[in-house]
Amino acid sequence: MSARIHPLLRTPGQPAKVASVELFFDLVYVFAVTQLSHHLLEHLTLLGVLQTAILWFAVWLGWQYTAWVSNWFNPEHLVIRTMLMVLMGLALLVSAAIPEAFGERGLLFALSFVAIQVGRTLFVLASLGRGHALTPNFLRILCWLLVSSAFWIAGGLNEGAPRLVLWLLAVACEYASPMAGFPVPGLGRSRTSDWTINGGHLAERCQLFVIIALGESVLATGASFAHAHHPGLAVWVAFAISFVGCVAMWWMYFDTSSGDATHVIEHSDDPGRLGAYFHYVHVLLIAGVIVSAVADDLVVAHPLDPVSPKYAAVLIGGPLVYLFGNALFKRVVYGRFPLSHLLGMATLAAAWPLLPRINLLAAGASTTAVLVLVTVWGAYYRRSGDRASSMQHD
């Protein structure tokens, strides 16, 4: 069967626009991101960070694999729309289980997540049939997902350290297997050149998830301010600082690279390879936003409190991971690692030991200042380049 005549696939040669049903599907991940940030806020220990990271990787993997499927399949078709609604319901269960995923709801989290990953893949295989060019790729994916599913379910049936280790192995299977092309004995391995994706669609889907994560920063800032019954000057200043930091993160990503990313991936000889890079980079970038949202919550809620070591880790860790992820993203798009981001990361690392000497408000102002400076540098560099290019064309 040819991909060109398959009734469920997108029409070849036509732009793959993000459908309204995909935006509706994303709503459940607004809840997931909120659950993750709250989980981290309530478990600010090394173990809590590791647990939250595992849960975040699971949330991202479920969303990202679905984004690839909706890149190939037409989400406006009734069958695909129904599939997305089913996955959305399962993702809601996954999200609801996050607070107790390492407690009494571990098995619910695992079974719901496995149902998303394996169920979606089985549906795709049943829809494509044996003769389609994409079928071997999804067969390999299914094999790897069955292995990871065993780890997820076994972890859900265990507690404590065994659950942690088993779920780490599950994440490693699902996150690392695309790097190697999902190799399976007898089935070979997939090549990124075989992943005939629409680059613009995948780039836009990643951008929309960045917006979801930034929305959590806005919610954390607004909610903390709303809970202050008689906000003093410190709370007002903390509110402004947190909001400016969120704006800087948005500007840094969307002003200088997101639009160019769409162009680069659409005109690439191997869009599947770039799509895979997006898969790996955005999980870090968005994680930085989520951690920064936790920092915003702390700064607005307790601006005059001293910075404890765990608070310092959050205040520095969020912007640091975001800058690193953003730098990798720009490395994919432009082929270079931006100097502004390197210096910003170095400044944050140097400031880390100094934060326990000041309060949360001053610490938040310091990290926001770094984000703003990096953003201004990048925006100025871009506009200077645009002016030079325009003069050359004139």
Q: Is the pLDDT of residue 199 over 90?
A: no
213 pLDDT more than 60: yes
Compute the average pLDDT of residues 73-92.
Answer: 94
Mean pLDDT of the region 278-289: 92
**Both tokens assigned to 280:** 């790996």
pLDDT of residue 392: 41
Query: CA 11, 15, 19 angle in degrees (round to 5)?
Result: 85
Query: What does the mean pLDDT of the chain come to?
Result: 89
203 contacts 263 by C-beta, under 8 angstroms: no
CA dihedral of residues 218, 258, 57, 324 (deg, nearest 10): -90
- Percent above pLDDT 70 for the chain: 92
Angle at 209 between CA 96 and CA 378, to 5 degrees: 140
Domains for the chain: give ranges and CATH numbers: 20-190 (no CATH), 199-393 (1.20.1410)
Mean pLDDT of 147-157: 97
Phi, psi of 15 (to 5 degrees): -60, 135
List, for residues 154-166, the tens digit of each pLDDT value: 999 999 999 999 9
Q: Shortest CA distance to 84 belongs to which of 62, 101, 106, 58?
A: 62
Instruction: Using alpha carbons, list the distances in angstroms from residue 334 to 38, 83, 198, 259.
Output: 35, 36, 19, 12
pLDDT at residue 390 in the model: 38
pLDDT of res. 385: 53
